[in-house]
A and B are shown apart, each in its own frame.
Chain A
Amino acid sequence: MYKYDEIDQTIVDERVAQYRDQTRRFLAGELTEDEFRPLRLQNGLYIQRYAPMLRIAVPYGMLSCKQLHKLGDIASKYDKGYGHFSTRQNLQLNWPKLEDSPDILAELATVEMHAIQTSGNCIRNITTDQFAGIAPDEVIDPRAMAEVLRQWSTFHPEFALLPRKFKIAVSGTEEDRAVIQGHDIGLEFYRDSQSKVAIKVWVGGGMGRTPILGSIIREHLEWQHALTYCEAIVRVYNLHGRRDNMYKARIKILVKALGIDEFRKQVEAEWAHLKGSPNTITGAELARVSKHFEDMPYETLPAHDAGFDAALASNTAFAAWVKRCVHPHKTVGYRAITLSLKPHGKAPGDATSEQMHMVADLAEQYSFGELRVSHEQNLILADVKLSDLFVLWEKARANGLATPNIGLLTDIICCPGGDFCSLANAKSIPIAQAIQMQFDNLDYLHDIGDIELNISGCMNACGHHHVGHIGILGVDKDSAEFYQVSIGGKQGNDASLGSVIGPSFAAEEMPGVIQKLIDVYIKERTPEERFIDTVRRLGVAPFKAHVYAKDEIAA
């Protein structure tokens, strides 16, 4: 992974000093709350319902074991001994003290970490596929470009105060795993007809109050121009995006208002001036950064391991875990594994300090000392030998990290919701927990098969509910917490937004509602048909009919 040189380290250190002084001025009354807000937000500090929340950047989801140990230390020293991994692949601390935040950042800087631009109206953490660099279906490893983009966007002076937050995702695989179409800018890397690295540029996607899938603004962009083309897009947005209404301020609203053709025209006109300017990426720079993402020193291994095969045959619990949590690797004899942060009945995406230290140790021992955070809020060890899987599983299981539910109904994407977040209309974690307990039967879960259930506590959609096969949105109904259910959303190449099935439900009704949706699916599915495919084939109607059937509501 990327290692800082002196220049990177100086920037992060100077940021700590700058932020320390900003915080000092605020606490001394030299800055008003309104004036301090944009400053602390640009450093990931929210003032939440009960305490500040600090969002720590995990660039494109990559962590070293040293960094994770530090996060574990920070969570126990400055917080209540746990942290929450977010859908932007970041880590959030829910209980730090404002006065401590400069010290936390100083500690982070010692392990090449920061909280720069993890919130606020600026370019946020760049996200990508959690299997980048090791996925068999990968065409281009996008991490070097993600790092180049990270550096370019860090304190970009022209884009320091945009109309609204701005999210960029990169991906280089055949099957998109980075929700490219759900981002303000999505950069899809591919090889063109001359076998050169090119980018398909998507723009104007986003979740939130008005979910919109991105449009293609450019089919073919040479990689050298990634920064200048993004500059053209963000400049048009910075100048012309709405600033009068925060709910209409994302770039998707501008793209929609102008139409993609007019928007493209303006961007291309801007780019005509920027193309070839000094921010054009050089081959030397890409090569320098790419060096940090070279293949691990893999051993030459056989495709099969007798011990693994034996364990698989004799141990059904291990077999269930392998089925759900072990993923293919481009190198023979290696696998990627997902450590589930979704044990039933716990807050999805949460990890305790002990678990962080444990995972860091596992990464060190079995996966070259590195790991990744997925946007589905799990942790990934990307380079594990087949022969190590069984012992790794035993250790993970002993620490509550081996729930074999990846990609299943209880692998719920969930925002912190009303338990923590001051924006939320409703709690989301208890709903996730109640659904997990309703389906707390692994055989049944495996029978239901691949399904994604996403929960957001408000229309800001941090829980990506629009692209959940089942999406749940917390709404405020006469000051009471209710939940709106949609089905048919999907991430990936054939992304779609879910359709709301009807009036919202009270919290206690939710497990039953999900049960009914699943019942319809089980009854109607054809062999091998996934939930999402059944919904696409049949439409919302049969699901809606069963969920809202009169006698059942009375019951």
Chain B
Amino acid sequence: MSNLIQLIDGIASIVKNEWPIVNLPASQVEQRVQAGKVVLFKLTGEESVTPEQIATTAVPATGKIIVPLSVFIARKNELASRIQQGDVGVWLDTHEVLEHLIENQADLNTLPIIAVHVERFADGRIFSLGTLLRTRYGYKNELRAFGDVLRDQLFFLKRSGFTSFEIRADRSAQDALASLEDFTEPYQGAVDEPRPVFQRYNRTA
């Protein structure tokens, strides 16, 4: 059974997953993908994925796919016609630099889906990435969280602009559905409701 929750017009339901994830092959090189190294990347310009990994990533010849950001950037020509058909989405890790996607894909809405991979539950960078994609870069299509995604992140993910959630395989997506309704009236404005409570209601002292 599918473990994918999708929000369609604000209604959450469990749906079939039509978008297989393409993964990078394991690297022989010690990777600098540890959480928090973004500062290091910015200071040193080091890349997290090797050219060998990108070149040897096995991309299925047909069908819908979500490819790693590094593969999307490096092998864009090869994927061009499939991107055109709307069969290619992109996924990135929380430590990757979102601007790299923006620089390489002028119109994000060509992409039917963007996914963000959560390595650890406690990694809250995903919320800023979602917020930026929606508010700064105008992305309107499906935004998916996958990886260490558990029910107690869903409310925050929804508020940060995510519209689908691939619940970790060992947990029930059915159980997780309820958490989207944990709070009825949030205080602050965020992606799903930009107006803070004081803009939505005439609160009296």
Binding site for B on A (CB under 8 A): 5, 7, 10-11, 14-15, 17-18, 22, 35, 38-39, 121, 151-163, 227, 235, 238-245, 249, 254, 257-258, 273, 277-279, 281-282, 284-285, 288-289, 291-292
Task: Report chain A residues within 8 Å CB of B188.
Answer: 151-157, 227, 279
Taken together as a complex, chains A and B put the C-alpha atoms of A242 and B123 apart, in Å, by: 11
Give residues of chain B (60-110) contacting chain A, Cβ–Cβ below 8 Å: none
CB-CB nearest in chain A for B159: A157
Contact present for B127 and A158 (CB under 8 Å): yes
Contact present for B122 and A5 (CB under 8 Å): no
Taken together as a complex, chains A and B put the C-alpha atoms of A281 and B186 apart, in Å, by: 16
* B7 beta carbon closer than 8 Å to chain A: no
Shortest C-beta distance, A153 to chain B (Å), equals 8
Task: Report chain A residues within 8 Å CB of B201.
Answer: 7
User: 4 closest pairs, A vs B, by CB?
Assistant: A161-B124, A243-B35, A157-B159, A242-B36
Contact present for A35 and B187 (CB under 8 Å): no
Neighbour of A158 across the interface among B123, B128, B136, B205, CB < 8 A: B128
Contact present for B182 and A160 (CB under 8 Å): no
Most buried by A among B42, B136, B182, B198: B198
Shortest C-beta distance, B167 to chain A (Å), equals 13
Contact present for B124 and A7 (CB under 8 Å): no
Contact present for A155 and B187 (CB under 8 Å): yes
Taken together as a complex, chains A and B put the C-alpha atoms of A257 and B42 apart, in Å, by: 11
Give residues of chain B (147-205) contacting chain A, Cβ–Cβ below 8 Å: 150, 152-153, 155-160, 179, 182-191, 194-199, 201, 203-205
Neighbour of B156 across the interface among A160, A273, A288, CB < 8 A: A160
Q: Please judge, given known A-B contacts A238-B124, A282-B198, whether A243 and B36 are in contact too, CB under 8 Å.
A: yes
* B28 beta carbon closer than 8 Å to chain A: no
Contact present for B184 and A14 (CB under 8 Å): yes
Contact present for A152 and B196 (CB under 8 Å): yes
* B133 beta carbon closer than 8 Å to chain A: no
Most buried by B among A155, A254, A284, A291: A155
Neighbour of A155 across the interface among B37, B43, B131, B183, CB < 8 A: B183
Contact present for B122 and A38 (CB under 8 Å): yes
Q: List 12 A-B contacts (CB under 8 A).
A: A17-B182, A22-B152, A121-B124, A158-B127, A159-B127, A160-B156, A162-B124, A238-B125, A239-B38, A242-B35, A243-B123, A278-B199
* B121 beta carbon closer than 8 Å to chain A: yes
Contact present for B184 and A10 (CB under 8 Å): yes
Task: Report chain A residues within 8 Å CB of B204.
Answer: 5, 288
Task: Report chain A residues within 8 Å CB of B11.
Answer: none
Contact present for A273 and B136 (CB under 8 Å): yes
Q: Please judge, given known A-B contacts A22-B152, A239-B128, A273-B136, whether A157 and B198 are in contact too, CB under 8 Å.
A: no
Q: Is chain A's binding surface mostly helix, strand, loop or mixed?
A: helix
Contact present for A257 and B127 (CB under 8 Å): no
Task: Report chain A residues within 8 Å CB of B122.
Answer: 38, 121, 161
CB-CB nearest in chain A for B162: A157
Contact present for B185 and A7 (CB under 8 Å): yes
Contact present for B160 and A278 (CB under 8 Å): no
Taken together as a complex, chains A and B put the C-alpha atoms of A17 and B186 apart, in Å, by: 15
Q: Please judge, given known A-B contacts A273-B136, A278-B194, A288-B205, whether A152 and B125 are in contact too, CB under 8 Å.
A: no
13 new A-B pairs (CB below 8 Å) besides A158-B131, A288-B198?
A: A5-B203, A158-B124, A158-B127, A158-B159, A161-B123, A162-B124, A239-B128, A242-B37, A273-B135, A278-B194, A282-B198, A282-B199, A288-B204
Most buried by B among A158, A243, A245: A158
Contact present for B124 and A160 (CB under 8 Å): yes
Contact present for A155 and B186 (CB under 8 Å): yes
Contact present for A160 and B189 (CB under 8 Å): no
Q: Please judge, given known A-B contacts A11-B183, A151-B188, whether A157 and B155 are in contact too, CB under 8 Å.
A: yes
* B56 beta carbon closer than 8 Å to chain A: no
Taken together as a complex, chains A and B put the C-alpha atoms of A5 and B205 apart, in Å, by: 8
Task: Report chain B residues within 8 Å CB of A158.
Answer: 124, 127-128, 131, 156, 159-160, 190
